[in-house]
């Protein structure tokens, strides 16, 4: 108790009495968010290929993708803003944007439809009139072994680790179950010997 002083906090209290409040007047003054803030998820739907990796990696299961309908759905109230989907997206079409979503009494979801697919609520055309072609080619990669140099770039870039390349034995193989058809291997291939079919 030897170092006890009388009113050591008085200086700080007096200083605060004549200084501006530390708090801001939100909501009358807009909140300023840093660029990196993980507020909500945005999607550039034109770049999406419905590979479903974001939905698979989402811890609370807030994302759903439908490859047939070309839709990407997010349940905003289930999303925990972890950014897992952003990290795994092979096309980099997802991003975390600053600012929170509006609060509300009911849980709601948001659905985006890829270009070239019928808008939500409208059924696809009948069999006589084929549906318009999707924006990106779809399917699994097929390798043209005559042009392949077994550089392993496709295997390194594959987000699912579905491609195995053996340079010595000159073999290229695909795990069909693991492949999500994202096409990252096709764009990484320097010899253009991979195609999605």
Residues lying near another protein in the complex (CB under 8 A) are found at 1, 3-9, 11-13, 16, 22, 33-34, 36-38, 57, 59, 80-84, 87, 96, 161
String of DSSP letters for 137-192: --S-EEE-TTT-----HHHHH-TT--EEEETTTTEEEE-TTT-----HHHHH-TT-
**C-beta of 19 vs 146, nearer to another protein:** 19
**C-beta of 82 vs 196, nearer to another protein:** 82
Nearest approach, Cβ of 45 to another protein (angstroms)? Answer: 23
End-to-end CA distance of the chain: 81
SS3 113: strand
CA distance 58 to 140: 23
Nearest approach, Cβ of 36 to another protein (angstroms)? Answer: 4
**C-beta of 36 vs 123, nearer to another protein:** 36
Nearest approach, Cβ of 184 to another protein (angstroms)? Answer: 14
């Amino acid at each position: 108790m030897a170092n006890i002083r009388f009113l050591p906090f008085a200086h700080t209290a007096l200083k605060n009495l004549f200084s501006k409040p530390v708090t801001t007047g939100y909501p009358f003054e807009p909140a300023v968010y840093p660029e990196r803030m993980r507020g909500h998820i945005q999607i550039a739907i034109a770049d999406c290929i419905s590979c479903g990796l974001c939905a698979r990696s989402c811890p609370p299961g807030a994302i759903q993708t439908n490859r047939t309908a070309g839709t990407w759905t997010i349940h905003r109230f289930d999303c925990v803003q972890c950014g897992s989907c952003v990290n795994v997206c092979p096309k980099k079409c997802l991003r975390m944007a600053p600012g929170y979503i509006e609060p509300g009494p009911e849980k709601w979801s948001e659905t985006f439809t890829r270009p070239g697919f019928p808008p939500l609520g409208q059924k696809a055309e009948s069999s006589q009139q084929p549906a318009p072609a999707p924006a990106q080619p779809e399917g699994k990669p097929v390798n043209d072994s005559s042009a392949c140099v077994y550089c392993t770039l496709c295997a390194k870039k594959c987000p699912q680790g579905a491609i195995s390349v053996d340079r010595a034995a000159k073999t290229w193989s695909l795990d069909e179950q693991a492949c999500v058809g994202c096409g990252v291997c096709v764009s990484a291939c320097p010899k253009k010997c991979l195609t999605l079919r």
